[in-house]
Amino acid sequence: RPEHPLAALLPCDNVFAIESRWYRDNPLVIRGPGAGRDVTAGAIQSDINRLAQLL
């Protein structure tokens, strides 16, 4: 179905569509960036900064 949340998924997105017996036609959708280049680089930089503070 073209209207389904997973139909318009971008390459670096994570999408969870939570359906239930009562909300099958209108699921709870959680969408956010996945492990793309920028997200991964930001996480590594954050980890390095945290390590530097601890040393």
DSSP per residue over 7-44, as a string?
Answer: GG--TTEEEEEE--SS-SSS-EEEEEE-S-HHHHHHHH
**The pLDDT of residue 51:** 96
The pLDDT confidence band at residue 50, using thresholds 50, 70 and 90, is: very high
pTM of the model: 0.49
The pLDDT confidence band at residue 46, using thresholds 50, 70 and 90, is: very high
Task: Give CA–CA dist 5/16, Å, rounded.
Answer: 8
Contacts of 17 (CB under 8 A, 6+ apart): 4, 5, 6, 27, 28, 29
Res 4 pLDDT > 80:
no
CB 4 within 8 A of CB 13: no
Q: For 5-39, what is each residue's pLDDT tens digit? A: 778 787 788 888 888 998 888 888 888 888 888 88
